[in-house]
Amino acid sequence: MTEERKYIYSIIKNPQETLGFDAFRLAEAPKEISLLPAGQAVFGINNRDIILIPYRDLAAAVSNLQLINFNRLNKKELSQLIAAHDQVNVGLMKDYNIIPLRFGMIAENTEEIRDILAKAYLQFKAALERIAGKAEFIVEVFWDKQKLLEKIAREDIEIQKMQKEVKAKGRILGLAVKMKLGKRLFEATLACRKEYVKNILGDLATRFPNFSAGKLLDANKESATNETGPEASRQGGSYGVNKEMIMNYSFLIGKTEESALEFKLNQLAEKYANELKFKYIGPMAPYSFAVINLSVGNFDLVDNARTTLELGESATLPEIKQAYYKLAGRHHPDKQALAINQLSLEEAEKKMKDIITANEILTVYCRHYFSALPSDAEQVCSFRKEAVEKSIIVKEKDI
């Protein structure tokens, strides 16, 4: 009989961790626990039961699975497994905030999963805070490229002149003009696309500020999003054989705000009637907003964060906030809005993102650090390696 492994779907808050840090740490922590009644209707790949493997106040949602060589599966078989993976996460989302893991993550045993939870503990904790009560919605925007080119030609006198010249000179003599015409049309199309995306994204971001860019897909072929599992689509429909995706962004939105997103997209659809088509997909598990780097340990994460905020080896929560506000005020992209060099603005945006992430990580870590201290202890958070590791790593003798 083939040896079974543990297939991991997502990370959630441990539903049995209700006693507080010290009580849980010193209790007889189970190696595995059954999924609570609220989620009993959820089944994993091959209809296997979902079980939770806990580590402190986190738990991995997993099922037992005989070892599968995914590379040997055909497209249909692989799609069915991916759909089953996503069905588990969509089901869990009804009752829990989840950090969805990418398809195909398999561990040898329970101990390996606990090691994963320990190594990326702070990343998981920060991500759970970030996505609490929210889901991912993908917004896609399409245009008919041929109609757009016709519109550009009607409004550009120089393009009209070049078109007439190409027609008059013929295929050979008009080749040089035809190349100039193609370049001008390409540049005009690119500028038009950028303007559309800028205006639409700016409009949506005022209501839904947490977003992430996705890949532009070939809209005339089957969308890759169809392979990520059961999703609700709105504002879709055919848009001719020349339909082309010009925008694909994911938004992290409150689970109760879907109607607000739909209303906003309906407004945009009216504004750009006969020019663009809009579609959204969701709610989905927040894959784009809970990216975990398992190669980065807890100390490296904390050390990088405190360096980013220009802090020493310890700080209080007020000092962390003060450092955050100081740097945010200095590097906010709005202060770079008049910069001539676009690269400067992009660097400022990246720096600001790093500052926000650093504040998030240190805040989560220090709350966790303080939870292990006596109530009358000084609320100073240590960023030293031994302090970080001691506060997170649970040794077998402790459990």
As a whole number of Å, the CA-based R_g of the chain is 26
**Tally of structural domains, the chain:** 3
Vertex 71, ends 66 and 72: CA angle to 5°?
A: 75
* Residue 335 sits in the same domain as residue 319: yes
**Model pLDDT, residue 219:** 52
Residues 104, 205 contacting (CB under 8 angstroms): no
Res. 285: pLDDT tops 50: yes
- The mean pLDDT of 379-390, rounded to a whole number, is 94
- CA neighbor of 229 nearest in space, from 337, 361, 136, 365: 136
Give the residue from 260, 289, 318 where a domain finishes: 289
Is 284 exposed, middle or buried, given 0-12, 13-18 or 19+ CB atoms closer than 10 A? buried
Comparing 59-63, 198-202, 222-226, 375-379, the range with the smallest average pLDDT is: 222-226
In one letter, which amino acid is 373?
A: L
Alpha-carbon gap, residue 120 to 131, rounded angstroms: 17
**Model pLDDT, residue 343:** 53
Torsion 193-196-198-201 (CA) sign: negative
Comparing 78-87, 269-278, 336-345, the range with the smallest average pLDDT is: 336-345
* Residue 59 sits in the same domain as residue 125: yes
- The mean pLDDT of 126-148, rounded to a whole number, is 93
Give the residue from 132, 148, 170 where a domain finishes: 132
What average pLDDT is seen over the chain?
Answer: 83
**53: confidence class by pLDDT, cuts 50, 70, 90:** very high
Question: Checking phi first, is residue 56 left (phi over 0); if not, alpha (psi -120 to 50) or beta?
Answer: left
267-281, 347-361, 366-380, range with greatest mean pLDDT: 267-281
Percentage of the chain modeled with pLDDT above 90: 54
Query: H or E segment at 31?
Result: none
* Residue 56 sits in the same domain as residue 112: yes
To which residue do tokens 């809005």 refer? 337
Give the residue from 289, 321, 346 where a domain finishes: 289
* Residue 284 sits in the same domain as residue 379: no
* Residue 94 sits in the same domain as residue 141: no
**345: confidence class by pLDDT, cuts 50, 70, 90:** low
Tokens standing for 250?
């994911």
Vertex 78, ends 253 and 51: CA angle to 5°?
A: 65
**Model pLDDT, residue 33:** 63
Number of DSSP helices (H) and strands (E) in the chain, helices first: 12, 13
* Residue 273 sits in the same domain as residue 197: yes
Residues 348, 320 contacting (CB under 8 angstroms): no
**Model pLDDT, residue 72:** 84
**346: confidence class by pLDDT, cuts 50, 70, 90:** confident
**Model pLDDT, residue 339:** 52
* Residue 276 sits in the same domain as residue 144: yes
- The mean pLDDT of 292-316, rounded to a whole number, is 95
Residues 310, 327 contacting (CB under 8 angstroms): yes
CA distances from 275 to 51, 143, 148, 247 (A): 49, 6, 8, 14
Alpha-carbon gap, residue 117 to 54, rounded angstroms: 8
Residues 134, 286 contacting (CB under 8 angstroms): yes
CA distances from 259 to 256, 263, 283 (A): 8, 6, 11
* Residue 108 sits in the same domain as residue 209: no
Res. 368: pLDDT tops 70: yes
* Residue 283 sits in the same domain as residue 309: no
Tokens standing for 70?
């995914």
Specify the higher pLDDT residue, 45 or 345.
45
Q: Is residue 245 classed as helix, strand or coil in its secondary structure?
A: strand
Vertex 264, ends 263 and 266: CA angle to 5°?
A: 65
* Residue 160 sits in the same domain as residue 178: yes
Alpha-carbon gap, residue 238 to 227, rounded angstroms: 19
* Residue 157 sits in the same domain as residue 263: yes
* Residue 223 sits in the same domain as residue 161: yes
Alpha-carbon gap, residue 247 to 262, rounded angstroms: 17
How would you classify the pairing of strands 33-34 and 51-55?
antiparallel
- CA neighbor of 130 nearest in space, from 364, 394, 373: 364
Alpha-carbon gap, residue 106 to 111, rounded angstroms: 12
Comparing 126-135, 270-279, 345-354, 379-388, the range with the smallest average pLDDT is: 345-354
Tokens standing for 198?
């800028």
Q: What's the domain range around 356?
A: 298-398
Is 385 exposed, middle or buried, given 0-12, 13-18 or 19+ CB atoms closer than 10 A? middle
How would you classify the pairing of strands 233-234 and 276-284?
antiparallel
